Every structure is written in structure tokens, then in C-alpha cells.
Structure 1
Amino acid sequence: MTFTPIKTPLVAKKLFPNYVWDLPTTEKVIYLTFDDGPTPDITNWTLDILNQYNAKATFFCIGKNIEKHPEIFQKILSEGHSVGNHTQNHIKGWKTKRKDYLNNIELCESVLQAHNPKANLNTLFRAPYGQITPKQGKDLIDLGYKIIMWDVLSFDWDKTVTKETCFNNVISKAKQGSIIVFHDSVKASQNMQYALPKVLEYFSEKGFRFNTIS
């Protein structure tokens, strides 16, 4: 386990108010997000599970993965889910020069547009690892992006976290309007494929809906 908290502290949200951390509402709505795809088998499995619960989600896709697996990307779109930019090569903002970081994001944006011509330009962005500098963030907002962070991390990618803990991370911290992070990646698959169906069942039984971020 890292020192990154499961639930984003209020102080972080106040320090970066221009980023989207959650979507406050009085309705029973939760926002599931999936990073790092599209990934063969895993993304398709995720889509099938979401469909079983009539759940919609937002997929933050890596540009090179869209290029490798365009048919999976099209399936995400055809099933009514939202997509966002997760850079072309999953790069770390803190270790990348400002210009190079923006260029990588714009390259991913061009891939998104090529495979989804009806999409709005410059909409949703999530930084890999959550690493983005204030100047990078300002540049992206000026370009028209919405920077989507999170309210709850499942820690599905963390090999020191058990699948049961991954599930409990979500149900113990998520609430109305929470943005939750999962990954449709090979690294996270064991924990995610255990936790996701249980999360869907748990909140569905409590009357929650699962919506896209738009």
C-alpha cells in the first residue's frame, strides 16, 4: 500500500478546485471510471459485467492502446459509455517537460478524434498516476479540457492489496456523486474482476445508478 489515501481528502479538493474530484448530487448516482485500456479480454469482460447491471462508465484510454485495439474502443462507444484522454503513452506529468506532456496529450486527442469523429474536442482528461503539475493543469484547462480526478481509489493495481480489500475500499468510502477509479488493465485484472461485480451488486441493491461523466 502506498501513502495515497483511498478517499481523496477535502484539503486536496480545495487546493485544486478547478479539477473534478466528484460530482455532488442528492441522487443515488455513482461514477465508475476505468483507466489504461482498451485491453484485450479485460475491457470486453468489463463491458459485459457493466451491461449485466445496466451500468454506464467512463473509460480513460491510452492513445497507443486505442490504435492497437480499435475494435474494443468502438465497443466501448457503441455500448453507451464515455471516453477520455489518458495520454498517448501513459506518461508521468511530474517527470515530463510541460511542452512534451501537452504534445503527448494532444497526440492522444488526435487518436480519439480519428476513432470517434462525433466526439467533442478537448473534453475529459485524467493524468496517469494522478501526476500533473499546476502549470500543466492550467494549460489543459485553457485548452478546454476537464481534468477528472477521483473521490475513491480502489487500489486494484496494487499487488499488496487483496481482492477483498479492493472491494471494501470502494464500498466503505464511496457515496452519492463519488468518482471511483478502477483499471481495465492486465496488472489490475485480478483485483478488479473480483471487486467490480460485487461493487455493482452492492450499490445496485441500495438503489444506486451508475452514470457516465460527460
Structure 2
Amino acid sequence: MKMPYLVKTPGLLKQFYPGLTWNKSRTEKAIYLTFDDGPIPQVTPFVLQTLAQFDAKATFFCIGENVQKHPEIFEAVKAGGHAIGNHTFNHLRGWNTANELYLENVEQCNQLVKSKLFRPPYGRAKKSQLAALKKQYEVVMWDVLSGDFDPDISPQQCYQNVVGKSSNGSIVVFHDSLKAWPRLEYVLPKALAFWQDRGYVFKSL
């Protein structure tokens, strides 16, 4: 069954999960680009090249298993001056995973990524898991979800999702994954150009 998702995170959800990072300062004209699920050879190098063209810094929430498989690409992300976050070792869905196993999986990833930033895969984790994680990590969510992972939307719709819903301090989610590639390849350069033309800077977390 396809999980529903919201492009723009509602304020009520942010209130229900206090202590998580949903966006940054609304007074600064900055966009915080984030990329989940990499690094992989087919997509991550394109992302790095595109970011470099716009002098953009971003945050990569990496899956430990992918870091282990592609260490040279992980090193290229770091060499580009980007921030690194933890996205579990095996992309676990917290709601379906026992707390002890989930936290062990996060720690397994952190042995490789060595980060104080964490994002739960699917944006879903139990409150008990989040409470434990907040002791060690800044748990980063988002306020704009591109939908690049959704094969049912067009690249054009994905582009409208991000440029239409973002504003000062937005944390925007993309995916450096094969599933997202047909939309990401189209959207990323166009969205960066759109934001740059409007005076935004691109910062890592």
C-alpha cells in the first residue's frame, strides 16, 4: 500500500513532535537542501556536481549500508563541504521496529558517518525512539517534501512542490536514490536556479 505524504508539513504536526528540527530561521533568506538514502554511484555524483555549480551546501542523510558499499562517494560528499547525517544502517521504519533494534541500527550507521544529525527513514519513528535519540542527536525533519520518490508525479509537479512551498529557512527533502532519479535529474538544477535568482543562499545544517 502506498503511504500518503504531505508536501508541506502542517504546523499541528510540528507541535505534536516538539524538540525536532522542522525548519530554520524564517528571517534569513536561506534554503536547507537535504538528500536522503545515498550515497550511490548512479545519482550522488550528479547531485554533488549540480550543487557545486550553484555554490550550494547541503546535508546528506546517509544509509550506513550505502556508505559501506560506496566509501569513495561518501568521501566525495564530505570533500564537497557538505554536512552528513545518520539515516539508520538499513533504512528501518521505526514504527515497525523494536526500540532496541532500531537504536542499535542507528548506532551501527553512526560508526561510519560519525554525525550528530539524525533523520528517521520515512519520517516515522515511535515517540519512545525519538526521546532516546534526542539525547544524542539533533533529529531533523523537514517542512517541504519534494515527492521525488513518487513515480506517480511528473518531474514538473515535483518542481512545483519545492518552489511553490519553500520559503525562508525551509528544510527541503530530496533523495539521491534510483527511485527518485527521473524527477531529481529534472528538478534539482531548475529549483536551484529559481532560488538563486530570488536571492536565496543554500546552507548545510
TM-score scaled by structure 2?
Answer: 0.97
Q: Which residue of structure 2 lines up, in the alignment, with residue 75 of structure 1?
A: 76
User: Which of 110, 125, 137 is matched with 2:130 structurally?
Assistant: 137
Query: Which whole-Å CA distance do the structure 1 matches of 2:96 and 2:15 have between them?
Result: 24
Query: Which whole-Å CA distance do the structure 1 matches of 2:164 and 2:101 have between them?
Result: 38
Q: What is the deviation of 1:27?
A: 1.7
Q: Deviations over 1:25-48 (max 9, x none)?
A: 312100000000001031001000
Q: Which residue of structure 2 lines up, in the alignment, with residue 179 of structure 1?
A: 171
Query: Which whole-Å CA distance do the structure 2 matches of 1:2 and 1:70 have between them?
Result: 31
Secondary structure in structure 2 of the residue aligned to 1:60: strand
Query: Which whole-Å CA distance do the structure 1 matches of 2:119 and 2:4 have between them?
Result: 20
Q: Which residue of structure 2 lines up, in the alignment, with residue 124 of structure 1?
A: 117
Q: Give runs of aligned pairs for residues 7-46 of structure 1, distance below 5 A.
A: 7-46=8-47
Q: What is the deviation of 1:20?
A: 0.4
Q: What is the deviation of 1:2?
A: 5.1
Secondary structure in structure 2 of the residue aligned to 1:84: strand
Q: Which residue of structure 2 lines up, in the alignment, with residue 5 of structure 1?
A: 6
Unaligned runs of 5+ in 2: none
Q: Which residue of structure 1 lines up, in the alignment, with residue 85 of structure 2?
A: 84
Query: Which whole-Å CA distance do the structure 2 matches of 1:41 and 1:55 have between them?
Result: 20
User: Which of 152, 155, 163 is matched with 1:160 structurally?
Assistant: 152
Q: Which amino acid aligns with 1:55?
A: A
Query: Which whole-Å CA distance do the structure 2 matches of 1:153 and 1:124 have between them?
Result: 18
Q: Which amino acid aligns with 2:116?
A: T
Query: Which whole-Å CA distance do the structure 1 matches of 2:31 and 2:107 have between them?
Result: 29
Matched, 1:208 2:188: no
Secondary structure in structure 1 of the residue aligned to 2:134: helix
User: Which of 185, 191, 200 is matched with 1:199 structurally?
Assistant: 191
Q: Deviations over 1:116-170 (max 9, x none)?
A: xxxxxx510000111101000000012x201100000000000001100000000
Count matched residues: 204
Alignment RMSD (CA, Å): 1.0
Query: Which whole-Å CA distance do the structure 2 matches of 1:70 and 1:52 have between them?
Result: 23
Q: Which residue of structure 2 lines up, in the alignment, with residue 116 of structure 1?
A: none
More displaced, 169-178 or 122-131?
122-131
The answer on whether the counterparts of 2:87 and 2:106 sit within 8 Å (CA) in structure 1 is: yes
Q: Which amino acid aligns with 2:96?
A: K
The answer on whether the counterparts of 2:44 and 2:176 sit within 8 Å (CA) in structure 1 is: yes
Secondary structure in structure 2 of the residue aligned to 1:65: helix
Secondary structure in structure 2 of the residue aligned to 1:160: coil
Identity of aligned residues (%): 46
Secondary structure in structure 2 of the residue aligned to 1:181: strand
